[in-house]
Chain A
């Protein structure tokens, strides 16, 4: 995933295209301009799903491209966009993390999102950035949080690669607790457990 992929996935009207290009130029020249442009993205480019990028919406991609226009070092400005954002803006920051070149500086945002109970934020937090950088303990708890709040495990990037015996134990205990209570265990828990079996 690169900014060019995001640009290619966006099918914008000429007006929206101009807004985004001008917005990127403004942000590149003055990062403070992001405060006005970032919240407006949904109103300017729409909020529909992007057919060629499953899970992404038009406003997510436009916001990611605005963040991509920030001059480096940009970690502080990205964190501010997250902290001051509404939940759609926060989701966009989380989705954008893999393309922003932040090193580990985006991890506090991932951890913040995993503390919320907003399923859209939890799902976005467990994308490729968390898969590549979140420590084992944090990542396993992120997966468990997904099954706990009902986020499909399809949202977890690189699940098959990172799933390990400790995650399997946690998911098995979770399933046992649900079964003891006579509650349904989500199908994807069983699927995740088979991933670990194949590995060992």
Chain B
């Protein structure tokens, strides 16, 4: 099983995680810029973080056979802090980098006026730099926040196919699918979404424009949730090709719209024994 995790915060993870991810089949990932648990108090903190996303972290990932790309943005939570907002002026030079494949995570946390302004400005930056955009949906008041997100995206004139709307659940998936944007799901140990619920969503809505991620970060999370979702799909009767589409070809197709996705020289052949067995079972069935 080859896996592209389209949303994972590796800055917060250990080298053990990189090893386990490689063993599970992860060969490429995207690390979106987000907050770090401890609020930042100034622009310089963002710049060191962004530099790490285009510098040290891709090097660290490469040591474990995993290709690292990132997205860059002012996240919605910190868009509310006037000490941080000026980082928006620094974004263009990062959006010119090879490893940056989208603008993100943008969107709403508490749906404030400040969040509105940062969101709109960054939608414009995405258009200007011809990059896809990753939109975070709020954890509180999610359905209303997702609806407002889709309205803002529509008004911006950006092509729906250039947008992924993330952290969806049973209440928000339908409106995103109908909008023509990509629908993404963060599979967590016990909150946002789990692998069995994910399988039911794929059964109902199909595999087109669907992305599955672990969104693993510094909170309780599991960087192998992509693999576990693939296993759950197989157990539920999806084919190995369906799994490959959701866990590899879909994220590749979405981020390739940046023109910057570099997957050359990656070893994506089968190396994981358990997976070959599962595939064998599926083919015989």
- Listed in ascending order, the chain A residues whose CB lies under 8 Å from chain B are 35-36, 39-40, 42-43, 84, 86-88, 90, 116-120
Residues from chain B with a CB closer than 8 A to the CB of A118 are 55-56, 59
> Of the candidates A42, A90, A119, which one forms a contact with B98 in the assembled complex, judged by CB atoms under 8 Å apart?
A42
21 contacts between A and B (CB under 8 A): A35-B93, A39-B93, A39-B96, A39-B98, A42-B98, A43-B259, A43-B260, A86-B55, A86-B97, A86-B98, A87-B54, A87-B55, A87-B56, A87-B58, A90-B55, A116-B56, A117-B56, A118-B55, A118-B59, A119-B59, A120-B59
How many whole Å from A88's CB to the nearest CB in chain B?
7
Residues from chain A with a CB closer than 8 A to the CB of B97 are 39, 86
- Chain A proximity mask over B68-84: 1 for CB below 8 Å, otherwise 0: 00000000000000000
Given A43-B98, A87-B54, A87-B56, 7 extra CB contacts under 8 A: A35-B96, A39-B97, A39-B98, A42-B98, A87-B55, A88-B98, A119-B59
Which bracket fits the contact residues of B?
10 to 19
Residues from chain B with a CB closer than 8 A to the CB of A36 are 96
Decide yes or no: A86 and B99 within 8 Å by CB, A43-B259, A43-B260 being known contacts.
yes
Mostly, the B contact residues are loop
Query: How far is A39 from B260 in the complex, measured between Cα atoms in Å?
Result: 12
How many whole Å from A15's CB to the nearest CB in chain B?
15
Interface-centre pick from B55, B99, B259 (highest chain A CB count, 10 A): B55
How many whole Å from A92's CB to the nearest CB in chain B?
12
Which of chain B's residues 228-276 have a Cβ closer than 8 Å to chain A?
259-260
Interface-centre pick from A36, A39, A90, A116 (highest chain B CB count, 10 A): A39
Residues from chain B with a CB closer than 8 A to the CB of A43 are 98, 259-260
How many whole Å from B94's CB to the nearest CB in chain A?
9
Query: How far is A86 from B59 in the complex, measured between Cα atoms in Å?
Result: 11
Which of chain B's residues 108-158 have a Cβ closer than 8 Å to chain A?
none
Query: How far is A42 from B58 in the complex, measured between Cα atoms in Å?
Result: 16
- In order of increasing CB-CB distance, the 7 nearest A-B pairs are A86-B54, A39-B96, A87-B55, A118-B59, A86-B97, A39-B97, A42-B98
Residues from chain A with a CB closer than 8 A to the CB of B93 are 35, 39, 84
How many whole Å from B44's CB to the nearest CB in chain A?
12
How many whole Å from B255's CB to the nearest CB in chain A?
15
> Of the candidates A35, A84, A87, which one forms a contact with B59 in the assembled complex, judged by CB atoms under 8 Å apart?
A87
Residues from chain B with a CB closer than 8 A to the CB of A40 are 96
In the complex, the chain B residue whose C-beta lies closest to that of A86 is: B54
How many whole Å from A41's CB to the nearest CB in chain B?
9
Residues from chain A with a CB closer than 8 A to the CB of B260 are 43
In the complex, the chain A residue whose C-beta lies closest to that of B55 is: A87
Query: How far is A42 from B54 in the complex, measured between Cα atoms in Å?
Result: 14
In the complex, the chain A residue whose C-beta lies closest to that of B56 is: A118
Residues from chain A with a CB closer than 8 A to the CB of B54 are 86-87
In the complex, the chain B residue whose C-beta lies closest to that of A83 is: B51
Residues from chain B with a CB closer than 8 A to the CB of A42 are 98
Which of chain B's residues 92-107 have a Cβ closer than 8 Å to chain A?
93, 96-99
Query: How far is A46 from B51 in the complex, measured between Cα atoms in Å?
Result: 22
Query: How far is A86 from B98 in the complex, measured between Cα atoms in Å?
Result: 8
How many whole Å from B49's CB to the nearest CB in chain A?
14
Query: How far is A90 from B51 in the complex, measured between Cα atoms in Å?
Result: 11
Query: How far is A88 from B68 in the complex, measured between Cα atoms in Å?
Result: 14
Query: How far is A40 from B55 in the complex, measured between Cα atoms in Å?
Result: 16
Query: How far is A42 from B56 in the complex, measured between Cα atoms in Å?
Result: 19
Query: How far is A39 from B97 in the complex, measured between Cα atoms in Å?
Result: 5
Interface-centre pick from B56, B59, B99, B260 (highest chain A CB count, 10 A): B59
In the complex, the chain B residue whose C-beta lies closest to that of A84 is: B93
In the complex, the chain B residue whose C-beta lies closest to that of A59 is: B98
Query: How far is A38 from B97 in the complex, measured between Cα atoms in Å?
Result: 9
Residues from chain A with a CB closer than 8 A to the CB of B58 are 87
Interface-centre pick from A42, A87, A116, A120 (highest chain B CB count, 10 A): A87
Query: How far is A116 from B51 in the complex, measured between Cα atoms in Å?
Result: 13
How many whole Å from A184's CB to the nearest CB in chain B?
18
Residues from chain A with a CB closer than 8 A to the CB of B96 are 35-36, 39-40
How many whole Å from B266's CB to the nearest CB in chain A?
15
